[in-house]
Structure 1
Amino acid sequence: MVKRLGEPVVRTAVAQAMKEMGRQFVLGRDIDEALKRAKKYESRGYTYSYDMLGEAARTDADARRYLRAYANAIESLAPACSHDEIRRNPGISVKLSALHARYEFGQKDRVMDELVPRALELARKARAANMGFNIDAEEADRLDISLDVIEAVLSDPSLAGWDGFGVVVQAFGKRAAHVLDWLYALSTKLDRRIMVRLVKGAYWDAEIKRAQVMGLKDFPVFTRKVNSDLSYIACARKLLAMTDRIYPQFATHNAHSVSAILELAQGRDCFEFQRLHGMGESLHDAIVSKGQARCRIYAPVGAHQDLLAYLVRRLLENGANSSFVNQIVDTRIQPEEIARDPFDTVEALGDSLSSKAIALPKAIYGEKRLNARGWDHTDPVEIDAIESARAPFKTRQWQGGPVLGCEVRSDRVTEVRNPAKPSDLVGYLTQASADDIEGAIATSQAGFEAWSSLPAEERAARIRRVGDLFEANAAELFTLATREAGKSLLDAVAEIREAVDFARYYPNEAIRNQAFGAGRGVIACISPWNFPLAIFAGQVLAALAAGNAVIAKPAGQTALIATRAVELMHEAGIPKDAVQLLPGSGSTVGAALTSDPRIAGVCFTGSTGTAQHINKVMAESMAPDAPLIAETGGLNAMIVDSTALPEQVVRDVLASSFQSAGQRCSALRMLYVQKDIADHLLEMLFGAMDELRVGDPWLLSTDVGPVIDEAARRGIEAHCDKFEREGRVLKRWPSPKRGSSCRRR
């Protein structure tokens, strides 16, 4: 018989376990409690660096709360700063992500205008107290923006002559040594002395996964731990040669690293060691008792609700097989193995510096399929290159229209304008006529015969070439996605990458499944405007890979990018009569294609009602076995219970709700929240929504661009007006006056 524990019992047990872990790894629930507990170690010769626990701020209210917490902590620590020599006094560590809700490269203007004054305010308080003030290291994608903030704060004349400003550098990052050189050059230029805490690094697995998901060229961190160990020693050697400007602080629990640093220092009293509270105690006690170096304890301070993320990080680090802390208590591992010289290990690896067990971002799908190239929107060099490449297309006007294997007969031309800026004429579109539709269907019969007779491998090679051409012409496609479809740069990058993925995935699948049969004939592909390249290309390339000819009808709002895509397909070697484009209305082009018996099947993405209508018309007009492949609308929901981390929930809700201005079938439509956490979560969500920037999608700083057209805007506004009259709108923003931007609720 299984006896279930009651909910109160389970919660009590979990809470007690959290408290026990908190006592182990967190010095106190608040700064006063931490100061009392710190006296035990201070009497043994340790000093402290205090860190106020908490995740990155999601709202401005959170950021201001963290700012107050840091300021209060500095004031509470000030009486303990009794030494004239700053390195003998306690210090405080500050996370920049806690001081601003939008601490990211794309919001650099706000970061410099709003975060820098907050960090400077704290630095001035720390200077007045004569304590150390350390800027903690965070994710690799924030490194560039963090250096901008550090330079701006340290350059302020009010900090001149103060030796307490500190920076944390992560040795597992491949740029660590360059950051040290930059910090030394900055301190020299400003004639300052600074502190640098050298750590191995945190959230290594997240850095690896981010690079793979984004399709970056390489990883920002080393993929073998031994390389991080070696980098740590190399950076330590560099720091010990910079002591005229830098006071090194070596944070490590690794006995080999400690021994190497002591050997490199040659008895000089120009640095200190650091350890985390609750870890590495015996190692650092040995250092202090022998008088080999000063030691400081990094001491987290926080209440119960702030503990979870920090405790998970400690568990991950301590539990890793390669962790020194884990190995030292494992009696199965010999001491010689634990203290192995990383230089010997690296030399034994030869040229194999990267782990073969971790696929490079381009190779995550294996040898037969290349991952789509990514563009790092947090890299200023990459962003400058994108801006330079997009510049020639910023005012270009494209000519779109039917792309046929026969003569185009229509002469009805309409204008295409930017949904964010109606004054921006993106180009002109020729609408397909009845003659064009007939010509395309007739021509496609011969196109099918020729295309389907090619070996599957040859068709696959040409389709893969389409993906290569999409990447080669990415700047133009980015621009079209932004100016015609209103997509932000991040959404445009995702659009191109998904289209490229389709160009590499479907050919492989066609070859793998070619034994199941040949192409059916001519397939009509009808695609939506919300993914004007990705879904458009996915439909077309899948049908082509299987040996079919295609007549594509793009959405009326996004036919220019479809025109360019078909032109690139032809450039890749796909015959003009094998893939043709018919822009036009659903009532003209769509109705003709879905009711013509010469069409062998239909691929459709759009509303459920339209799909049902197409299904009915096909049943009346086409062969009984003509397939309808329909991807139609749905409702995406998120369910949040009390175990979820609120900051992560809010981040994911914002991404799912507001990317692409919410115009995707996967956009979050319903949020279900456990009642006892709902008020706090909604308060955080509403505050985070206030931090979003609505406007011109051309700008990297824009989070929410326009909805696709004026009709869509009016529909959304009417929907919200209705619910507001019923008192059911919880949060609403004013809509921009220009363009079809609409802030969703």
Structure 2
Amino acid sequence: MSIHEVINPATEEVIDSVEHLDVRGTDEAIERAARAYETWKNVAPAERARIMRDFASALGDAQEELARLEVSNAGHVIGNARWEAGNVRDVVGYYSAAPERLLGDQIPVEGGLNVTFHEPLGVVGVIVPWNFPLPIAGWAIGPALAAGNTVVLKPAELTPLTAMRIGSIAREAGVPEGVLQILPGKGSVVGDRFVTHPAVRKVVFTGSTAVGRRIMAGCASQSKRVTLEMGGKNSNVVFADADVRAAAEAAPGGAFDNAGQDCCARSRILVQESVFDEFMEHLETAVKNFRVGDPNDEDSAMGPLISAGHRDSVLRYIDQGDVAFTGEAPSGPGYWVRPTVLLARSATEPCFSEEIFGPVVSVLRFRDEGEAVELANNTEYGLSGSIWTRDLGRALRVSRGIESGNLSVNSHSSVRYSTPFGGFKQSGLGRELGPHAVEAFTEVKNVFFANNQSTHPESRRQS
């Protein structure tokens, strides 16, 4: 094992140190999860549901504690962090109903009775990113446990603290030992072992597209299931018939939430040329009023970036771009970047085509509906996006035309625990959340019961 220091990105101070597991420690945890699975999968549905309700209640009791931990570890502003902590509670609570509602089918067939069952997979390996370590952990934990699986979860090296606390809350709430384990460590050690260990039956990954591809390739050798949520370069499309002022005032929240460190960030704004100047005037006011500051301040809308290295990467894009205007950010300690609006001259510019993952948005004009859809689809990604229009027909046409998994009309909403979430193209594979997420953690088993073997057509062919 090795020791890793955890840094507060708003102050650059060390706030904790965490032991990283090695391969042996990872294997031991996976083996504990495999043993626990043999018991957990046979827990009566009503009892498993009760345990999960108790877990959700305990998460609710710890909401403020988890939120404050997210502020200090990830630099999230306190208002957002409270929502994130509440989201974990809500997700686990939502899926606590699933054990008693994981229904199979009775299919009419000749010669007997045919039924299907949803069987759990076994051990599920979950790899959580640093940008939303708290809610994304819950998105996998909830449905995986509800289906009867056990979970080993690797938090990001930069932001392990909230996931570790979730693990201890689970044990305090009565989740049996070995059913949910948090394994801090390097991706090249713990994450890779999730991919290669035969007892891990599925890997759930959120992170960069490059790493997701490697995980998918590694899992292929064992035909291991994957769910991948990866990058995004999402468009905010503003038509001339929209409420232009409302669209401009909402744009900073859609692009700069979590300092733009969000795969769903609307980091490309497409504005119909006839209202471009009006939109930019309102956008400048909104950006300059977007408050960046101490994440513990209730009035702060944006905190720091996660690390010095990531800050420097974002600043390189800004240095290469045509800056229209910026907001303000603190000076002194912390990994701060001003909210920045760039003018894109074409869809091929790096600022418009590459995922920057910071508080930077690029604005480009378009002529008509067809060009807007073409520009929105001119990316390898397809995770989210927004459409601003008063025309219902246009909203329907454009939402069907844009190749993206999560779209909002006249808003920037991407995530609700009761609706599916996931991407097209290089943004991912599979869906999380929503009513069917539990099924992604199961295998469908088909069983036929013959009522008279001699009359069954399959039996007749074999006689």
Q: Output the CA distance in 1 between the equivalents of 2:131 and 2:48.
A: 28
Written as runs of structure 1 = structure 2, the 5 A alignment for 1:349-360 is none
The structure 1 residue matched to 2:37, chosen from 428, 448, 452, is 448
1:129 alignment partner in structure 2: none
Post-superposition shift, 1:514?
Answer: 4.4
SS in 1 for 2:323: coil
2:51 alignment partner in structure 1: 462
Instruction: Deviation per CA, 1:87-137: give whole Å up to 9, x if none.
Output: xxxxxxxxxxxxxxxxxxxxxxxxxxxxxxxxxxxxxxxxxxxxxxxxxxx
Q: Which amino acid aligns with 1:482?
A: V
Q: Output the CA distance in 2 between the equivalents of 1:534 and 1:632.
A: 16
Unaligned runs of 5+ in 1: 1-409
Q: Output the CA distance in 2 between the equivalents of 1:691 and 1:482.
A: 22
1:472 alignment partner in structure 2: 61
How many equivalent pairs are there? 327
Instruction: Deviation per CA, 1:461-490: give whole Å up to 9, x if none.
Output: 211222211111122111101000101111
Written as runs of structure 1 = structure 2, the 5 A alignment for 1:230-241 is none
2:130 alignment partner in structure 1: 529
Post-superposition shift, 1:734?
Answer: 6.2
SS in 2 for 1:466: helix
2:28 alignment partner in structure 1: 439
1:138 alignment partner in structure 2: none
Post-superposition shift, 1:577?
Answer: 0.9
SS in 2 for 1:517: strand
* C-alpha contact (below 8 Å) 2:287/2:327 kept by paired residues: no
The structure 2 residue matched to 1:418, chosen from 1, 4, 8, is 8
- Over 3 Å counting, the alpha-carbon distance change for 1:458 and 1:526 in structure 2 is same
Post-superposition shift, 1:532?
Answer: 1.2
Q: Work out whether 1:608 is the aligned partner of 2:209.
A: yes
* C-alpha contact (below 8 Å) 1:456/1:514 kept by paired residues: no
1:572 alignment partner in structure 2: 173
C-alpha RMSD of the superposition:
1.5
Q: Which amino acid aligns with 2:67?
A: F
* C-alpha contact (below 8 Å) 2:48/2:99 kept by paired residues: no
Post-superposition shift, 1:660?
Answer: 1.1
Instruction: Deviation per CA, 1:308-357: give whole Å up to 9, x if none.
Output: xxxxxxxxxxxxxxxxxxxxxxxxxxxxxxxxxxxxxxxxxxxxxxxxxx
Written as runs of structure 1 = structure 2, the 5 A alignment for 1:522-671 is 522-620=123-221, 622=222, 624=223, 626-671=224-269
Written as runs of structure 1 = structure 2, the 5 A alignment for 1:138-157 is none
Written as runs of structure 1 = structure 2, the 5 A alignment for 1:315-326 is none
What fraction of aligned residue pairs are identical, expressed as a percent?
31
Q: Which amino acid aligns with 1:523?
A: V
2:335 alignment partner in structure 1: 740
1:199 alignment partner in structure 2: none
* C-alpha contact (below 8 Å) 2:77/2:302 kept by paired residues: yes
Written as runs of structure 1 = structure 2, the 5 A alignment for 1:76-475 is 410=1, 412-423=2-13, 425-475=14-64
Instruction: Deviation per CA, 1:252-311: give whole Å up to 9, x if none.
Output: xxxxxxxxxxxxxxxxxxxxxxxxxxxxxxxxxxxxxxxxxxxxxxxxxxxxxxxxxxxx
1:689 alignment partner in structure 2: 287
Q: Which amino acid aligns with 2:44?
A: P
1:500 alignment partner in structure 2: 89
Q: Output the CA distance in 2 between the equivalents of 1:657 and 1:491.
A: 14
Q: Which amino acid aligns with 2:333?
A: R
SS in 2 for 1:453: coil
Q: Output the CA distance in 2 between the equivalents of 1:744 and 1:574.
A: 43
Q: Output the CA distance in 2 between the equivalents of 1:667 and 1:594.
A: 29
* C-alpha contact (below 8 Å) 2:77/2:297 kept by paired residues: yes
* C-alpha contact (below 8 Å) 2:37/2:179 kept by paired residues: yes
SS in 2 for 1:634: coil
Q: Output the CA distance in 2 between the equivalents of 1:539 and 1:557.
A: 20
SS in 1 for 2:204: strand
Q: Output the CA distance in 1 between the equivalents of 2:197 and 2:177.
A: 21
Q: Work out whether 1:703 is the aligned partner of 2:285.
A: no
Post-superposition shift, 1:554?
Answer: 0.8
1:680 alignment partner in structure 2: 278
Q: Which amino acid aligns with 2:68?
A: T
- Over 3 Å counting, the alpha-carbon distance change for 1:493 and 1:744 in structure 2 is same
Q: Output the CA distance in 2 between the equivalents of 1:646 and 1:737.
A: 36
Instruction: Deviation per CA, 1:550-582: give whole Å up to 9, x if none.
Output: 110111111111110011111121112111111
Q: Which amino acid aligns with 1:729?
A: V
* C-alpha contact (below 8 Å) 2:128/2:155 kept by paired residues: yes
* C-alpha contact (below 8 Å) 1:524/1:593 kept by paired residues: yes
Q: Output the CA distance in 2 between the equivalents of 1:508 and 1:514.
A: 12
Q: Output the CA distance in 2 between the equivalents of 1:583 and 1:685.
A: 41
Q: Output the CA distance in 1 between the equivalents of 2:20 and 2:143.
A: 25
1:381 alignment partner in structure 2: none
* C-alpha contact (below 8 Å) 2:305/2:335 kept by paired residues: yes
1:731 alignment partner in structure 2: 325
Q: Output the CA distance in 1 between the equivalents of 2:191 and 2:94.
A: 27
Q: Output the CA distance in 2 between the equivalents of 1:734 and 1:495.
A: 25
The structure 1 residue matched to 2:73, chosen from 471, 484, 488, is 484
Q: Output the CA distance in 1 between the equivalents of 2:328 and 2:86.
A: 33
Post-superposition shift, 1:744?
Answer: 3.4
SS in 2 for 1:686: helix
* C-alpha contact (below 8 Å) 1:499/1:537 kept by paired residues: yes
Instruction: Deviation per CA, 1:132-180: give whole Å up to 9, x if none.
Output: xxxxxxxxxxxxxxxxxxxxxxxxxxxxxxxxxxxxxxxxxxxxxxxxx
Post-superposition shift, 1:738?
Answer: 1.9
Unaligned runs of 5+ in 2: 105-116, 341-463
TM-score, scaled relative to structure 1: 0.43
Q: Which amino acid aligns with 1:615?
A: M
Q: Output the CA distance in 2 between the equivalents of 1:646 and 1:613.
A: 42
Instruction: Deviation per CA, 1:203-251: give whole Å up to 9, x if none.
Output: xxxxxxxxxxxxxxxxxxxxxxxxxxxxxxxxxxxxxxxxxxxxxxxxx
Q: Which amino acid aligns with 1:464?
A: R
SS in 1 for 2:286: helix
SS in 2 for 1:731: strand
* C-alpha contact (below 8 Å) 2:288/2:326 kept by paired residues: no
Post-superposition shift, 1:603?
Answer: 0.9
Q: Output the CA distance in 1 between the equivalents of 2:103 and 2:225.
A: 18
Q: Which amino acid aligns with 1:718?
A: R
Greater strand content: 2
Q: Output the CA distance in 2 between the equivalents of 1:429 and 1:651.
A: 41
Post-superposition shift, 1:508?
Answer: 2.1
Instruction: Deviation per CA, 1:687-711: give whole Å up to 9, x if none.
Output: 2211122221011121210111111
Q: Output the CA distance in 2 between the equivalents of 1:513 and 1:744.
A: 45
- Over 3 Å counting, the alpha-carbon distance change for 1:427 and 1:514 in structure 2 is farther
2:344 alignment partner in structure 1: none
2:351 alignment partner in structure 1: none
Q: Output the CA distance in 1 between the equivalents of 2:231 and 2:4.
A: 29
- Over 3 Å counting, the alpha-carbon distance change for 1:475 and 1:734 in structure 2 is closer
Q: Which amino acid aligns with 1:499?
A: V
Post-superposition shift, 1:541?
Answer: 2.0
Q: Which amino acid aligns with 2:336?
A: S
Post-superposition shift, 1:733?
Answer: 4.7
Q: Output the CA distance in 1 between the equivalents of 2:136 and 2:311.
A: 23
Q: Output the CA distance in 2 between the equivalents of 1:555 and 1:536.
A: 11
Post-superposition shift, 1:426?
Answer: 2.1
Higher CA-based Rg: 1
Instruction: Deviation per CA, 1:482-506: give whole Å up to 9, x if none.
Output: 0001011111121012111211222
